[in-house]
Amino acid sequence: MSHLKQILEKGEFAVTAECGPPKGADSEIVLRKGDLLRDKVDAVNVTDNQTAIVRMSSLAACTLLRGAGLDPVLQMVVRDRNRIALQSDILGASALGIGNLLCLSGDHQSFGNQPQTVGVFDLDSIQLLQTVKAMRDEGTILGGDRLSARPDLFIGAAANPFADPLEFRVTRLAKKIRAGADFIQTQCIYNLDRFKTWISTAVDRGLPEKVYILGGVTPLKSPGMARYMKNRVSGMDIPDEIVKRMEGVPKEKQREEGIRICVETILRLKEMPGVSGVHIMAIEWEEAVGEIVERAGLLPRPGF
């Protein structure tokens, strides 16, 4: 079912992009974003109430994209659902033809627009991976009950090479692979040196033979955005020279500079052993994705 899986298994350098569902019930916005990404990327991640802000459900938006002929990656966080709801949604997603699932813990509820809610965190992201894998490969849910039909899902996980403790980051990646991850999408990469350290440790441990790693990139829109991400977003590593580059161009050229940095990063990632693709998170800027992919020499995409 997963187009992304086919691309990666063929050994092609994969391209995925992120699509944030609207803060409303408007399907047109989802479909318009889908149109922007069609034929530019192999699969589209749909965020699950990202930064703990209420949006259209990822499952619904994925279904809309699937109907429009795209290959959606359902992002699923453990913050909002207990194991009953998680397993139920996994079955539903597969029944609706969604072929990819990304297992996440989710941004903490205190960051969003419902800070008074309760965080569920019944399972963590690694236990969720394990659960999905058992549903798919064993046909069983937690507790051992058998499914009448197994979900067909390509299972993903996130990794942040830039968080601490550094020495434990690769251990955790290995744990996610053991739990069931088929592919990994990383936190946005700006510090290529630190990313290289991380990926070569992973290569030394033979991990890219067991999992496809897609490097995450986010085009910067302004020096302000760069500074905000550097100073305010935990686990985000933006070197000073990137901030300086963004500051060094006139306002009307800033977005162009952001795209240029992003394209350069992708070109470096393409050459790096252990990297199987790129994941472009253009936050509320899906229009930029096509240009980035084209300038990185990644068009045309292989057919569906």
Partner 1 sequence: MITAEQKPIDEIREMIGPFKRILVLGCASCVAECAAGGEKETAMLGSALRMAAKMEKKEVVIEEKTLDRQCVNEFIVLLDDTIDQYDAVLSLGCGAGVQAVADMFPETPVIPALNTEFLGETKAQGLWMENCLGCGDCMLYYFGGVCPLARCSKQLFNGPCGGSVDGRCEINPEMDCAWQLIIDRLSRFNALDRLEDIYPPKDWSRKQGSGPRKIVREDQQR
Q: Binder to partner 1 among 22, 119, 208, 239 (CB under 8 A)?
A: 119
Q: Are 14 and 212 in contact (CB under 8 A)?
A: yes
Phi and psi at 19, nearest 5°, equal -135, 120
Query: Which of 38, 150, 175, 255 touches partner 1 by CB under 8 A?
Result: 175
Is residue 171 part of the contact set for partner 1 (CB under 8 A)? yes
Please tell me whether residue 1 binds partner 1 under the rule CB under 8 A. Answer: no
Residues 6+ positions from 190 with CB-CB distance below 8 Å? 236, 237, 238, 239, 242, 261, 265
Block residue for tokens 């033809």 = 97
123 lines the binding site for partner 1 (CB under 8 A)? yes
Q: Which of residues 77-96 bind partner 1 (CB under 8 A)?
A: 79, 83
Q: Which span (58-66, 107-115, 196-204, 284-292) binds partner 1, by CB under 8 A? A: 107-115
Should residue 268 be labelled a site residue for partner 1 when binding is judged by CB under 8 A?
A: no
* Beta-carbon count within 10 A of 85 CB: 12
The single residue among 45, 58, 87, 130 that binds partner 1, judged by CB under 8 A, is 130
Binding residues for partner 1 restricted to 51-70, rule: CB under 8 A:
none
- DSSP letters along 187-225, please? EEP--HHHHHHHHHHHHHTTGGGTSEEEEEE-----HHH
Q: In a 3-state reduction of DSSP, which class is residue 154?
A: strand
In the bound state with partner 1, the residue whose beta carbon lies nearer, of 211 and 259, is 211
Chain residues in the site for partner 1 (CB under 8 A): 79, 83, 105-106, 108, 110-111, 119, 121-127, 130-131, 142, 158-160, 162-165, 168, 171-172, 174-175, 178-179, 187, 234-235
